[in-house]
Amino acid sequence: MKRFQLGLLIGAIALIVLSWWNIVAARSGLVVRTLEQENIPLIYVAPALANSGANSVPGVLVAHGYAGSKQLMLGYAHVLAHAGYAVMLWDFDGHGANPNRLQRYDLQSNLDVGLRALLEQPEVDRTRLAVLGHSMGSGIAMSAGIQNLDRFAATIAVSPTGAAVTPQAPRNLQMQAGSWEGRFISNAERILQTGGGENKNFAAGTARELVIVPNVEHITILFSDRSHESAVRWLDATFNQTHSSPYRDRRMAWYGLHLLGGLLLIGAVAPTVAGWFEPDRMKISAIKRWGGLLLAPLPGVAGLVLLNSRINLQSLGGVQVGGAIGLWFLIAGSIWLALLGRIPRLSGRRIAIGFGLFVLLWFAFGAMAQVVWLQWWLIPTRLQVWLPFALACLPWFLASGIAQQGAGNGERFAWWFAQSAILIGGFVLTLNFLPELGFVFLLLPLFPPLIAVLSFVVASLDEAWISSIASALFFGWVLAAGFPLSG
């Protein structure tokens, strides 16, 4: 290993260790318990009473949105717990680590399980309770506040959907919406109007407020200091508490540093691995390489439209929407490969190294994600669809790897930008014909960063089969982890 590679390796390890140190430090002074009740996985986060000086603290239920998980809401849990609140999070049916298939009309019962688990915790004052929810979870949270008027003293709806709100129910309702999510702002304004308008009458339980969180959209609002602080302020006003916690949730920044460290680790070992192979580059014209990228999405869209009348795309593969995305990649990628006209040699060594590279990618992206923002570990039901999803995505990433072989840094940047734009455009076009797949929109903002990570892998090795195997396994894992299990 050359001196430069050794320096990268040492730097990568330092970043990874520093990141984990700060993630552990964020839990200082907190009680964190992992629970399971009635087959529903839960996480409980609360202040250690010995440090807070209190006999008990108010309890808050925190509900995630569609295609989310309890991990995605951990930012609220940490901020609220540091401010003196006990928080219970759980995975709704079909989400995260919950193996039950998604049945929309049964989700209220999941919240009831979370409530029973919260009331069992020794730190919780059973007479002081509140509920917070995001998107799909906001509607469930508001409904819980309406149906349990005497139990929940406050309700916080982030990116609110809808519920039968009145001037009296739920009690002390705060709504939050990002300035970049117009539809949810409209929902919130409508609910605020039917709920009696803004006021601060906490004593009567009729307080109402709408907070517009600047410069965030449907997902980034969950990591916004303004959103977290607004929730704490509203709960403090409800329960007549004052806290001066200096804590700000910076775990996503440490996660980003961990990801950078993981990529540097790949960059450190990649030149050594690349030296094990003779370059297997093929001369393919720019028209075929770029033309294939531009044209391949069209048959992907057409294929889904034609198949929609024959198969249930929404629950294909047992995962809502994820199976349709995998099928789109299979069709579009196969067409792109056909237009390229040539495929490099495959060998057992390339397959083995591709799996090894996937393991490094898996660690860089997901090892810390599991405790910061994403249910990364796949339960058995999801693990069963991982390899089929990966095989479906393989043609696209193989074509991408072949097309980029020998490219310089500037051209690779162009490939990253073009692929991101083409994928977003291709799926937007798909939704124009198949609006029932609308939750694909949840993945669109992730395409640029995901393709950036995979483009780095392609550039590090410049070996099409190795990079495509790693990329397909990784992207298949993302699909298997991210979307709900269908009923």
Q: Largest alpha-carbon pair distance within the chain?
A: 76
pLDDT band at 85 (very low <50, low <70, confident <90, very high): very high
Of 102, 33, 207, 199, nearest in space to 483 by CA: 102
pLDDT, one tens digit per residue, over 17-37 is: 999 999 999 999 999 999 999
Cα dihedral value 71, 75, 76, 81, nearest 10: 100
For the four alpha carbons of 257, 259, 260 and 266, in that order, the dihedral sign comes to: positive
pLDDT band at 373 (very low <50, low <70, confident <90, very high): very high
* Neighbouring C-beta atoms of residue 187, cutoff 10 Å: 20
DSSP letters of 156-223? EEES-------SSSSSSEEEEEETT-HHHHHHHHHHHHHTT-SB--TTTT--EEEEEETT--TTGGGG
Of 364, 142, 362, nearest in space to 256 by CA: 364
Query: To which residue do tokens 């995505």 refer?
Result: 393
pLDDT, one tens digit per residue, over 434-458 is: 998 988 887 788 899 999 999 999 9
Quick check: helix, strand or coil at residue 92?
Answer: coil
Q: What average pLDDT does range 89-107 have in this prediction? A: 89
Q: What is the pLDDT of residue 486?
A: 85
Antiparallel, parallel or unpaired: β 173-178 and 208-213:
parallel
68 contacts: CB under 8 Å, gap ≥ 6? 95, 96, 134, 135, 136, 137
Q: What is the pLDDT of residue 452?
A: 95
pLDDT band at 271 (very low <50, low <70, confident <90, very high): confident
Query: To which residue do tokens 């915790």 refer?
Result: 121
For the four alpha carbons of 337, 449, 258 and 74, in that order, the dihedral sign comes to: negative
pLDDT band at 50 (very low <50, low <70, confident <90, very high): low
- The tokens describing 367, both together, are 């090892």
Contact 110, 125 (CB under 8 A): no
Of 79, 111, 81, nearest in space to 95 by CA: 111
